[in-house]
Amino acid sequence: MALVITDDCINCDVCEPECPNSAISPGEEMYEIDPNLCTECVGHYDEPQCQQVCPVDCIPKDPNHEETPEELLAKYEIITAAA
Ligand code: SF4
Ligand code: SF4
């Protein structure tokens, strides 16, 4: 499933450049993840890169965007084909 940034975000900007899918952007009040672009880093890395670097640990999985590993890989293939 995609990940989501909670309102614990301190807008530190550390996660945005780490995302291989450019899924993270500054939102109106805090950083946001586009669920259409987040693959949990499947296809690029073994672990979600944003979670690794976030200093306040505010990027859990989004229960509103449940996806299987196969669906995440399919999303990765669509994103990279379009790039
Ligand atoms: Fe980007 Fe990976 Fe974080 Fe998803 S899990 S937002 S693809 S860095
Ligand atoms: Fe927010 Fe964490 Fe990203 Fe920093 S690394 S902008 S605290 S989500």
User: Can you tell me which atom of ligand 2 is nearest the CA of 13?
Assistant: 6
Residue 43 has pLDDT above 90, yes or no: yes
Tell me how far apart the alpha carbons of residues 42 and 45 are, in angstroms, rounded to a whole number: 6
Q: Is the confidence at residue 82, as pLDDT, over 90?
A: no
> Nearest Cα to 60, choosing from 47, 51, 49?
51
| 8-to-14, 60, 67, 68 alpha-carbon distances in Å | 14, 11, 24, 27
**pLDDT-based confidence at residue 1 (cuts at 50, 70, 90):** confident
Cα of 22 vs centre of ligand 1, distance in Å, is 8
Q: Is the CB of 58 under 6 A from ligand 1?
A: no
Q: For domain 16-82, give the CATH number.
A: 3.30.70.20
Whether the CB of 42 sits within 6 Å of ligand 2: no
Domain positions in the chain are 16-82
